[in-house]
Amino acid sequence: MTKLIAVLAGDGIGPEVTNAARRVLDALRLDLSFEEAAVGGAAYRAHGHPLPAATVALAQRADAILFGAVGDPAFDGLERSHRPEQAILGLRKALATFANLRPAKGFPGLEDASSLKPEIAGAIDLVIVRELNGDVYFGDKGRRTTDAGRREGYDLMRYDEDEVRRIAHVGFQTAAKRRGRLCSVDKANVLETSQLWRDVVVEVSADYPAVTLTHMYVDNAAMQLVRDPGAFDTIVTGNLFGDILSDQASMCVGSIGMLPSASLDANGKGMYEPIHGSAPDIAGQGKANPCAAILSAAMMLRHSLGEAAAADRIEAAVAAAVRGGVRTPDLGGTATTVEMADAVLAAL
């Protein structure tokens, strides 16, 4: 049966890189149909809201969602509920995609693009399992005035045990399919939310005797990630820490333009997006690296569409294109978005 893919390209470089991913998917001649909808600043411009109801409806109806990026400085002054970023947060909530998988793996030939020494960069092969529906992102937030008349902003960090348990299971299952090592990252020395996180992760570990569990404070994890990223296999962490550590992991690989992600619900339905943002500074110039978007399409094939072999082909083609020396500016080259995608298609 034809599978429906919702294409939400969004803002900035979102349309360029999503287009490249579409070309790669088309080349595979799978039984897929695509339907586009507006999201982010583009949707605000066209419909007065960053996440129109029709976009949510399409995302819910689709078998999987291919997402570009949202964010547009023109709208930074709007009240928060109408800013482009609310589209991605709203979709994550509406679709209950609580499990965000962010693999970071070195590409042979790309070691010199990494911020790390080549021999350290070459060893990176980890996945960050980031909780995506809770934490300080979705806790009570606002502005108020203190008794002394000062303006105050607040964002509540919170998790309940069920939220921690379900992401812990994903963490353990992910580690079990890899090298069997799970590192839970928190800040339990200071935060009560983190202490609950740690307690629940330890409880869940009883179900996975084959996985070795360790714990690390997030500050130390940030340090170890650049000291010796090869030491990590699977990291499970909360929404905020996962956001930060995954950007950091991308520079260990070489560029934020190389890292894909999958955001999954409890049934494996997912939204697939590069971890980079809309990069307004280079939008529309053909400079964006489409690899993260193309690799996100590969994750979509593997996790939501039962097309693991096609996913393997895409990943091999990206690796071959990179090995062949084709590089966009973020990787130190001069190739355009289209040329990079062409190289992937040629390798396919």
Q: Is 243 a catalytic residue?
A: yes
341 lies in the binding site for ligand IPM (CB under 6 A) = no
**Nearer Cβ to Mg ion (111/243):** 243
275 lies in the binding site for ligand IPM (CB under 6 A) = yes
Distance CA 247, CA 316 (A): 23
Active-site residue identified among 3, 72, 187, 208? 187
Q: Can you tell me whether residue 2 is helix, strand or coil? A: coil
Question: Can you tell me which of 40, 254, 277, 290 binds ligand IPM, judged by CB under 6 A?
Answer: 277
Q: Which does 12 bind (CB under 5 to 8 A by kind): ligand IPM, Mg ion, none?
A: none
State the DSSP string of 85-147.
Answer: HHHHHHHHHHTT--EEEEEEE--TT-GGGSSS-HHHHTT-EEEEEEE-S-GGGTS-EEEEE-T
Query: Which range of residues in 97-105, 117-125, 240-248, 316-324 is near Mg ion by CB under 5 A?
Result: 240-248
Question: Can you tell me which of 11, 16, 72, 85 binds ligand IPM, judged by CB under 6 A?
Answer: 85
243 lies in the binding site for Mg ion (CB under 5 A) = yes
List the one residue out of 328, 194, 325 whose CA is nearest residue 274: 328
Query: Which range of residues in 82-90, 153-161, 163-171, 202-210 is near ligand IPM by CB under 6 A?
Result: 82-90
Q: Is 31 a catalytic residue?
A: no
131 lies in the binding site for ligand IPM (CB under 6 A) = no
**Nearer Cβ to ligand IPM (7/89):** 89
Enumerate the H helices of the chain as residue ranges: 14-27, 41-47, 53-61, 85-94, 118-121, 161-176, 192-205, 218-227, 239-253, 291-303, 308-323, 337-347
**Nearer Cβ to ligand IPM (131/307):** 131
- The 8-class DSSP code of residue 79 comes to -
**Nearer Cβ to Mg ion (32/255):** 255
243 lies in the binding site for ligand IPM (CB under 6 A) = yes
11 lies in the binding site for ligand IPM (CB under 6 A) = no
12 lies in the binding site for ligand IPM (CB under 6 A) = no
Active-site residue identified among 44, 137, 208, 272? 137
- The one-letter amino acid code at 174 reads T
Distance CA 61, CA 78 (A): 30
C-alpha distances in Å from residue 94, one per residue of 10, 79, 194, 227, 347: 17, 21, 25, 38, 37
Q: Which does 293 bind (CB under 5 to 8 A by kind): ligand IPM, Mg ion, none?
A: none
Distance CA 15, CA 275 (A): 15
Token pair of 155 as six digits: 């964002």
User: Is residue 333 a contact partner of residue 323, using CB atoms and an 8 Å limit?
Assistant: no
Query: Which range of residues in 47-55, 81-89, 140-148, 243-251 is near Mg ion by CB under 5 A?
Result: 243-251
Distance CA 172, CA 170 (A): 6
Q: Could you list the active site residues?
A: 137, 187, 219, 243, 247
Residue numbers of the site for ligand IPM (CB under 6 A)?
A: 71, 85, 88-89, 243, 275, 277
- Chain residues binding Mg ion by CB under 5 A are 243
